[in-house]
Each structure stands twice: as C-alpha cells, then as structure tokens.
Amino acid sequence: MGNLLENNFKGIQHVGIPVSNLSASVQFYNKLGFESVMEGQFDHNHEIGNVRMMKRTDAVIELFMLPKGQLKEIRKRKDGHIDHLAFDVSDVDKAFLDLKNAGFLISEKLPVSLTFWDKGCRYFTVVGPDQEKLEFNQIL
C-alpha cells in the first residue's frame, strides 16, 4: 500500500473529550496548567453544542459539550470518555483522497468546514476496526 500520507502527516493534533459541564471541565484543566486557546459552537442533530480547545505546551485537548437535551449520551457512559484522536495534516483534501482511494471507511462525504480557530479548520473522520474515530484535521 505504500506510505500513505507521506509528507502530509504532521502528528497528533488533539484528543476530543465529551463533557457534561463545560465550565467545570475548563476549570479542571486550567488547574492542570492548560489554557483556553479557542472556543466555538457546532451543530449536533440540529442543536448547538459548545467546544473549548485547551492547550499546554504541545498537548491540545478538545472539550465539547453536546446540546442540553443530548447530554444523556455522555452521562450513560460507564468508562472512558475520549471521543476521537485527531491528526494534524498539511492538506486535508489530499489526505481525504489518499485514504478514500486506499479503501478506508470515511464517515463524511467530503471534508467538513468549521469556524474554529482564527481562519477555520477542515476535517474528516476515518472509522477504525473497533469503531474508533480517527480525525484528520487541517487548521486553515
């Protein structure tokens, strides 16, 4: 198969953690030395959720809270709450085509644009053999 994403893979970008109380989680990670570097909103099943990116040195954690009516999805979990692992890529469109052509299961029809960060970002998600979510993300 060759070396997929050669010269396009930059490393782990962030780890996404669903939370039930965004303010409490931000305070918790602040105490660990993380600073809020980005906040935004996203659509989840036609309702608005909130996100905060927390950074300490090179480590970035995405804390996201689903809309109030959908919090039961998080509260019913009994074990780990890590939602996805995100990899930083130089060219999200090229990464999308490379992985699609290699037969990987991709959740989105095309890379998704979000208004996160100063100029936005684009991502897509690959589903692994145990349904784990691997996000490939380019900050614009």
CATH for 62: 3.10.180.10
- Domains of the chain: total: 1
Strands 84-89 and 133-139: parallel
Element holding 31 (H helix, E strand):
helix 22-31
Cα–Cα distance measured from residue 86 to residue 14, given in angstroms and rounded to the nearest whole number: 5
Q: Is residue 1 one of the residues assigned to a domain?
A: no
CA distances for 87 relative to 41, 78, 100, 121, 137, angstroms: 21, 26, 16, 13, 6
Residue 122's pLDDT is: 97
pTM for this entry: 0.70
pLDDT along the chain (140 residues), means of 10: 81 87 89 92 89 92 83 64 86 95 93 95 87 90
Residue 83's pLDDT is: 79
Q: Is residue 44 one of the residues assigned to a domain?
A: yes
Amino acid, single-letter form, for residue 138: Q
Q: Is residue 4 one of the residues assigned to a domain?
A: no
Q: Is residue 120 one of the residues assigned to a domain?
A: yes
Q: Is residue 36 one of the residues assigned to a domain?
A: yes
Q: Is residue 26 one of the residues assigned to a domain?
A: yes
Q: Is residue 22 one of the residues assigned to a domain?
A: yes
Residue 82's pLDDT is: 77
Q: Is residue 2 one of the residues assigned to a domain?
A: no
Domain encompassing residue 39:
9-139
Residue 137's pLDDT is: 95
Do the Cβ atoms of 16 and 62 come closer than 8 Å? yes
Residue 97's pLDDT is: 95
